[in-house]
Structure 1
Amino acid sequence: MKASTGASEISRRGFVGSALAGMAALSAKAAAETPAAATPFRDPYVYRFKIGDLEAFSISDCNLGFREGLGLMWPEEDRPKMKEAMQQHGERLDSLPLYVNVLVIRSGNDVALFDAGFGKGGNPQMGWLNDGLAAVGISPDQVTAGFLSHAHSDHLNGFVHQGKPAFPNAKIYLLEDELKFWRSPEPDFSKSKRDKGQIPGMIKEVRSHFDTLQENLRPVTDGTEVLGGIVRIEAAPGHTDGHACFRIRSGNDELLHLMDLAHHHLLMFADPDWTIAFDHDPVTAVVTRKKYWNEAVEKRTRCYAFHLPWPGLGHIMQDGQTYRWWAERWSWGA
């Protein structure tokens, strides 16, 4: 999904803007001097947790919102129901929040990113990923794998910096269908509700980034497993043709990365038929979402979400005939 960089808002993390660089340096120094297992790690936009034996981090990449609010949600005739649901739960109606949570896992000598956010630019409200990596002692050249769910700017752009790969040693895995879509002569946006005026520029930007990353890209098929079976790449089409979810396993633990199956912590669960304008194929997106929601409920799968409130960990619960996102409690001792 793509957000206007002018749509920034002040949030609970806004007050730390001028202090982020200093805090990152202090965190890195502390990590170097003290064994990680001995001291709880606390950071205002980096959250450490475990997936089995894997060390994992959730890094917030931005503080933005969509001023269009429910104007981005479809079907249009259901917006009164959406408004009612939002009001019942005390949600703001003037905008929709845009959380961008980047999952990072560390296994032996491997460091893997699951999408890379917006990338650092002129807006201090976005592009925080590298600061978060520095806070936990990870430099760009130490990243060995990148997983790209789809090529919208908040997922792809952070893999490129100043015309070069931002993580030069990383193999970047994505589904063949995603690469094929953007490389096709005329990518098909006929089913999408997004602003059609943005599309030519978006296509040009994606193709340019793919050119930059050409040597790093590793197109794969549905069900491919990498990093010794730790990560399984699964086709989850609808948001884009080659949109992917990721299943991370370690020991008896599993984490399902939902990526862009949900863009709001209430709306896509209160009614899975509700879609967002950024979906390329809304009908297919609904089918895919229901499939994953049903599975996650049945198996009680721990989930991670790119666009739900940071740090993005939780479970999907059955709520009568519909669903609910149940955020996992924070544990700062990990």
Structure 2
Amino acid sequence: MEDLSRRGFVGTALAGMAALTAKAAAQQPAEPKAFRDPFVYRFKIGELEAFSISDCDLRLGEGLDLMWPVEERPKMKEEMVRHGERAGPLPLYVNILVVRSGSDVLLFDAGFGKGNNPKMGWLQEGLAAVGISPDQVTAGFLSHAHADHLNGFVHQGKPAFPNAVVYLLEEELAFWRADKPDFSKSKRNQNQIPGMIKEVRGHFDTLQEKLRPVKDGTEVLGGLVRIESAPGHTDGHACFRIRSGDAELLHLMDLAHHHLLMFADPNWTIAFDHDPVVAVATRKKYWTEVTGKHTRCYGFHLPWPGLGHIVTEDDGYRWATEAWAWG
């Protein structure tokens, strides 16, 4: 009996200690949970919170047949082999940049939009993962009106982000609204162009009240974003410079469609460019600037999460991916 009483006392004491420990732990502030998501990457631009959201997992089946000039394709293949790249279809990354600044949520292009293909249109799911609802997006930035950039701004015939204005360059809007948009210099499949024009105009009609066409160099949101003309891929193609304090991020948009080919030789172009000659000149201009200033960059079509720097290498350049730092 004495042994049982002793054991009962010890058990009661241990239970009391456990309760006190649990109560003390409950009173301590919870440690912030590290954010990790397989297709959403959180990072900082100065004091700004930013996210890179992957919108798809696709391949361009035409491979190097999409690249120009034709006579340079053997050299392109050599570069691919030298860097251990796969032959065949080229990867199509679609990285959506989202920036949160106080009560403002900024969206830089909107991807393909939700459709029947489960391998694309992931933006809305990514926003939900970080607690952002469509009505919380206050500003959209459209670099150009190709489907992988524009379509996600529209959902079921309505603006996908009902409280967001959408900034774009005046030249981009004018190009698609022209009687006959000029694709005479493009290597794109000409059979696809009429349907593409019709789709873009339809989306612009849906977004008409939201569109805010601006001039080159316009700064919005107190200088947080500068909208810069970077023509060639389209007439009104834009890059975006995001600033917070001393920190700067240059969004390259479609100045590069591949992490190797547009850097090893900036003269190499892709069939989707509306004016390849102008696209090359624009690319060279930016590559010269960012290597000279060591500017941090973000690429829409570069390997997710799309952050890095452009560095010189031999007679060309190289995309140097920024090391991941999960927050």
- CA deviation map 1:259-289 (0-9, x unaligned): 0000000000000000000000000000000
User: Match for 1:63 among 57, 62, 72?
Assistant: 57
Q: Which residue of 2 aligns with 1:84?
A: 78
Aligned equivalent of 1:123: 117
* Alignment-derived partner of residue 195 in structure 2: 201
- Residue 320 of structure 1 deviates from its aligned partner by 2.2
Q: Distance in 1 between matches of 2:207 and 2:89?
A: 34
Shift of 1:94: 1.0
1:303 paired residue among 297, 304, 313: 297
Equivalents in 1 of 2:44, 2:56: separation in Å?
A: 23
**AA of the residue aligned to 2:181:** P
Task: State the Cα RMSD in Å.
Answer: 1.1
Separation (CA, whole Å) in 2 of partners of 1:274 and 1:182:
26
Q: CA deviation at 1:37?
A: 9.0
Secondary structure of residue in 2 paired with 1:324: strand
In the aligned structure 2, how far is the partner of 1:222 from the partner of 1:36? 47
- Tell me: CA distance 1:90–1:221, structure 2 relative to 1, closer, same or farther (3 Å): same
The one-character-per-residue Cα deviations of 1:83-114 (angstroms, maximum 9, x if unpaired) are 00001111111110000000000000000000
Letter aligned with residue 59 of structure 1: I
Deviations 1:135-189 (A, max 9, x none): 0000000000000000000000000000000001000000000000000000000
TM superposition score normalised by structure 2:
0.90
Distance 1:38 1:241, change over 3 A: same
Once residues 241 and 69 of structure 1 are traced to their aligned partners in structure 2, the CA distance between those partners, rounded to angstroms, is 25
Q: Summarize deviations over 1:227-285 as a string: whole Å, max 9, x none.
A: 11100000000000000000000010000000000000000000000000000000000
CA distance in 1 between counterparts of 2:185 and 2:34 reads 48
Distance 1:36 1:246 in 2: 38
**Equivalent position of 2:235 in the other structure:** 241
Letter in 1 for 2:50: A
CA distance in 1, matches of 2:30, 2:239: 30
Q: Cα deviation per residue 1:37-86 (whole Å; 9 max; x = unaligned)?
A: 93321000000000000000000000001110000000000000000000
- 2: CA distance between counterparts of 1:104 and 1:149? 14
* Aligned-partner Cα distance in 2 for 1:41–1:114: 22
Counterparts of 2:34 and 2:162, CA distance in 1: 31
Alignment-derived partner of residue 275 in structure 1: 269
Question: Aligned ranges for residues 10-29 of structure 1 at < 5 Å?
Answer: none
C-alpha deviation, 1:36, in angstroms? 11
Counterpart of 1:49, as a letter, is: F
- Residue 151 (1) aligns with residue 158 (2): no
Structure with higher Rg: it is 2
Of 263-272 and 87-96, more deviation after overlay is shown by 87-96
**Paired position in structure 1 for 2:101:** 107
Q: Deviations over 1:201-243 (max 9, x none)?
A: 0000000000000000000000000111100000000000000
Which one of the candidate residues 285, 288, 297 is aligned to 1:291?
285
Equivalent residue letter for 2:132:
I
Query: Which residue of structure 2 lines up, in the alignment, with residue 41 of structure 1?
Result: 35
In 2, Cα distance between equivalents of 1:36 and 1:258: 39
Does residue 312 (structure 1) correspond to residue 306 (structure 2)? The answer is yes
- Residue 211 of structure 1 corresponds to 205
Stretches of 4+ aligned residues off by more than 6 angstroms: none
Q: Which amino acid aligns with 1:136?
A: V
Which residue of 1 is the match for residue 16 of structure 2? Answer: none
The one-letter amino acid paired with 2:304 is W
Cα gap change, 1:274/1:38 in structure 2, threshold over 3 Å: closer, same or farther?
A: same
Any gaps of 5 or more consecutive residues in structure 2?
Answer: 1-28
Q: Secondary structure at the match of 1:316?
A: strand
Residues 1:321 and 1:262: Cα distance change in structure 2 (over 3 Å): same
Identity level (%): 79
Aligned residues: 299
2:300 paired with 1:332: no
Secondary structure at the residue paired with 2:248?
strand
- Structure 2 residue matching 1:314: 3-state secondary structure: strand
Distance in 2 (CA, whole Å) between partners of 1:36 and 1:115 is 36
Aligned residue identity for 1:214: Q
Aligned counterparts of 1:99 and 1:184: Cα–Cα separation in 2: 30
**Equivalent residue number for residue 225 of structure 1:** 219
